[in-house]
Amino acid sequence: MTTGWTRAVKVLERAERDGRDFLLEPEVYEILKEAGIPVPRHVFVPAGRSVGRPELQALGTPEVVIKIVSPLVIHKSDVGGVAFAKAAPAAVKKTCEAMLRTVVRRTPASGRKAVRRSVRGFLVAEKVAFEDIGFGSEILVGLRNTQDFGPVLTVGSGGLDVEYMNTRLQEGRAVASASAHLLDGSEGAALLEPLAVFGKMAESFRGRPALIRPRVLVDTLLRFRDLAIAFSAHSADNPYVLEEAEVNPFVVRRGRLVPLDGVCRFSRAKAAAWARPVEGVGRLLKPATIGIIGVSEKMNIGHVILANILKAGFDPADVVVVKPGLETIEGCRCVPSVEAMTGTVDLFVLTLAADQCPDVMRDLVDHGKARSVILIAGGMGEKEGGGSIEDRIRAILAAGRASGRTTPVVNGGNCLGVVSGPGRYDTLFIPGHKLPRPGRAGSATAMISQSGAFMICRMSKMPSIEPVYSVSLGNQIDLTVSDYLDYLKDDPDVRTFCVYMEGFKPGDGLAFARAVRKITASGRTVLVYKAGRSPEGRSATSSHTASVAGDYGAFKAVCDQAGAIVAEDLFEFESFMKGLAWLEGRKPKGRRVGLISNAGFECVMMADNLKDGAGLDLAAFAPETKDRILESLRPLGIDRLCDVHNPLDVTPVADDAAFMESARAFIEDPGVDCAVISNVPLTKALQTLPAGEGHGEDLTRPGGFAARAIEVFRATRKPVVFNVDSGALYDPLVEHLERSGLPVFRRADEALRFLRMYVDRLMD
CB neighbourhood size of 687 (10 A):
23
Domain of residue 105 covers 41-126
Out of 505, 533, 568, pick the residue that ends a domain.
505
Give the pLDDT score at 545. 37
Residues 212 and 248 in one domain: yes
Q: Phi and psi (nearest 5°) for 327?
A: -85, -45
227 lies in the same domain as 97: no
E-assigned strand segments in 254-335 = 256-259, 262-267, 290-293, 319-322, 328-329, 332-335
| Position 451 pLDDT exceeds 70 | yes
Looking at the structure, tell me whether residues 193 and 230 fall in a common domain: yes
Confidence of residue 621 (pLDDT cuts 50, 70, 90): very high
29: in domain: no
pLDDT over 90 at 142, yes or no: yes
Provide DSSP, 530-584: E---PPPP-TT--SSHHHHS-HHHHHHHHHHHHT-EEESSHHHHHHHHHHHHHST
d(CA 540, CA 549): 15
Listed range (7-11, 430-434, 474-478, 663-667) with the worst mean pLDDT: 430-434
Cα distances (Å, whole numbers) of residue 646 to 10, 529, 607, 723, 762: 68, 34, 9, 17, 24
Q: What is the CATH number of the domain that holds 350?
A: 3.40.50.720
Asked which of 259-268, 333-342, 537-546, 719-728 is least confident by mean pLDDT, the reply is 537-546
pLDDT > 90? residue 584 = no
Residue 595 domain flag = yes
Would you call 282 helix, strand, or coil by DSSP? helix
User: CA 35, CA 29: separation in Å to the nearest integer?
Assistant: 10
In a domain, 533, yes or no: no
Signed CA dihedral, 358, 359, 360, 365: sign only: positive
Q: What is the pLDDT of residue 131?
A: 81
Q: Establish if 467 belongs to a structural domain.
A: yes
Q: Coil, strand or helix: which one is 509?
A: helix
**756 & 698 share domain:** yes
Whether 211 is in a domain gets the answer: yes
CATH of the domain at 183: 3.30.470.20
Sorted by sequence, the CB contacts under 8 Å of residue 66 that are 6+ apart come out as: 82, 83, 84, 85, 92, 95, 96, 99, 122, 123, 124
Give the pLDDT of residue 385. 56
The CB density around residue 17, as the number of other CB atoms within 10 Å, is: 8
424 and 306, same domain (yes or no): yes
Provide CB contacts within 8 A for 707, sequence distance 6+. Answer: 700, 701
Where b means 16+ CB within 10 Å and e means fewer, 479-496 reads bbbbbbbbbbbebeebbb
Q: Are 759 and 674 in contact (CB under 8 A)?
A: yes
Sheet holding 525-530, edge to edge: 425-426, 418-420, 469-472, 445-449, 496-501, 525-530, 565-567
pLDDT of residue 133: 74
In residues, how long is the chain? 764
Give which of 179, 263, 212, 245 is closest to 515, Cα–Cα.
179
Mean pLDDT of 110-119: 94
CATH of the domain at 95: 3.30.1490.20
pLDDT at 538: 37
Q: Are 255 and 336 part of one and the same domain?
A: no
Together in a domain, 120 and 157: no
Whether 152 and 103 share a structural domain: no
Residue range 555-569: average pLDDT?
93
Model confidence band, residue 382 (pLDDT cutoffs 50, 70, 90): low
When pLDDT is cut at 50, 70 and 90, the band that residue 544 belongs to is very low
Q: Write out the H or E segment, with its range, that includes residue 145.
A: strand 138-146
Burial class (CB in 10 A: 0-12, 13-18, 19+), 432: middle
Of the three residues 79, 100, 126, the one that is the final residue of a domain is 126
Same domain assignment for residues 73 and 112: yes
Distances (CA, A) of 425 to 222, 318, 616: 48, 12, 43
The Cα-based distances of 549 to 228, 260, 554 in angstroms read 16, 21, 6
3-state secondary structure at position 679: strand
Q: Does residue 364 share a domain with residue 242?
A: no
Return the CA Rg of the chain. 32
Is the model more confident about 91 or about 388?
Answer: 91
pLDDT band at 536 (very low <50, low <70, confident <90, very high): very low
Concatenate the DSSP letters of all residues of 722-733 into one string: EEE---GGGHHH
pLDDT in tens, 452-471: 999 999 999 888 889 999 99
Looking at the domain assignment, is residue 582 inside a domain? no
The dihedral built from the CA positions of residue 94, 97, 100 and 102, taken in this order, carries a sign that is negative
Nearest CA to 741 out of 527, 581, 596 is that of: 581
State the Cα–Cα distance between residues 614 and 259, nearest whole angstrom. 35
Q: Are residues 495 and 429 in the same domain?
A: yes
More confident residue, 97 or 542: 97
Main-chain dihedrals φ then ψ at residue 360, nearest 5 degrees: -65, -40
Average pLDDT over residues 161-169: 51
What are residue 581's phi and psi, to 5 degrees? -65, -40
Kindly indicate the confidence band of residue 162, based on its pLDDT and cuts at 50, 70 and 90: low
CB 416 within 8 A of CB 484: no
| Same domain for 284 and 251 | no
Instruction: Please determine, for residue 438, whether its predicted confidence score (pLDDT) is greater than 80.
Output: no
Domain count, the chain: 4
**Maximum distance among all alpha carbons in the chain?**
104
On whether the CB atoms of residues 357 and 375 are closer than 8 A, the answer is yes
Whole-structure pTM value: 0.87
Whether 550 is in a domain gets the answer no
Q: What is the mean pLDDT of the chain?
A: 90
The answer to whether position 414 is within a domain reads yes
Alpha-carbon gap, residue 593 to 607, rounded angstroms: 10
Q: Which long-range contacts (CB under 8 A, 24 or more apart) does 624-633 make?
A: 625/665, 625/666, 625/668, 625/669, 625/671, 628/661, 628/662, 628/665, 629/662, 629/665, 629/666, 632/657, 632/658, 632/661, 632/662, 632/665, 633/658, 633/662
Q: Of 267, 294, 315, which closes a domain?
A: 267
On the question of pLDDT at 495 being above 70, the answer is yes
Q: Which of 157, 186, 158, 152 is nearest to 170 (CA)?
A: 157
Cα four-point dihedral sign 428, 432, 433, 436: positive
- pLDDT at position 3 is 55
